[in-house]
Amino acid sequence: MWENSPVKSSVAPLLRALHRAYPRADCALAHRNPFELLIATILSAQCTDARVNEVTPVLFGRFPNAEVLARAPLGEVETIIRSTGFFRQKALSLLATARRLVEKHRGEVPRSFEALLELRGVARKTANVVMGTAFGEATGVVVDTHVRRLSNRLGLTRESDPVKIERDLVKRLPRKDWIWYSHALISHGRAVCKAQSPRCPECVLRTLCPFPARSARRVA
């Protein structure tokens, strides 16, 4: 479990601007309960949330809970989730996870970070998503591609490894913002701070972000 430290004063204006722009930022994966969120997050690896949201209604319509999914034919699950990529490994992870939920947790998603990490297909990112979004418990900061890119551009980290990025972020951000921060940066990364063509002139963080200045120096 990460230890939190007081937010640095230099980060406070950045957080205020993000809060104004994305006050209700939330998880983009459609779900109705912790089980659906867990499965959707496993499927989201190397796949867009939009694509996952197209697949999960069919998947959950056929296999609505851990007990049913644990008995699912592997081939049928593969067919349903094929468009999410790496579908064979993901299908194996879904079935193994469902079986463990049934065998070890009475079919429920455990409300424990450590227990989540024991599920196939679950690493820190997925465990943080479930703990934060499903249970409201800030166990860390979710680091996906958007959070990685934007946190580097904003000067909050110089790391490329997700675990090291998370370590930097929990030192800089107040715990109360750990869950929201990732959702806000994902929203901002999709709408404004794009990987190839960031829209810096219209960015609410433009006066606080060192990235435009770095980009200008590279062009000059």
CATH number at residue 166: 1.10.1670.10
| Domain of residue 178, residue span | 12-24+141-212
Predicted TM-score (pTM) of the model is: 0.90
Inter-helix orientation angle 162-172/178-191, to 10°? 120
pLDDT 10s digits, 202-219: 999 999 999 865 554 443
Q: Which residues are catalytic?
A: 125, 144
- Greater confidence, 186 or 9? 186
42, 77: one domain: yes
Average pLDDT, whole number, for the chain?
93
Task: Please say which residue of 134, 156, 191 terminates a domain.
Answer: 134
Q: Is 203 a domain residue?
A: yes
d(CA 9, CA 21): 20
In a domain, 218, yes or no: no
Cα–Cα dist 125/141, whole Å: 8
Same domain? 38 vs 123: yes
Return left, alpha or beta for 109; rule: phi > 0 is left, psi -120 to 50 is alpha, else beta: beta
In a domain, 217, yes or no: no
CATH number of the domain that residue 130 is part of = 1.10.340.30
The span from the CA of 28 to the CA of 57, in Å, is: 14
Three-state DSSP class for residue 5: coil
Q: Is 7 a member of any domain?
A: no
Q: Are residues 78 and 120 in the same domain?
A: yes
Within its chain, how far is the Cα of 49 from the centroid? 10
Residues 63-105: tens digit of each pLDDT: 999 999 999 999 999 999 999 999 999 999 999 999 999 999 9
**What is the mean pLDDT of the segment spanning 11-37?**
97
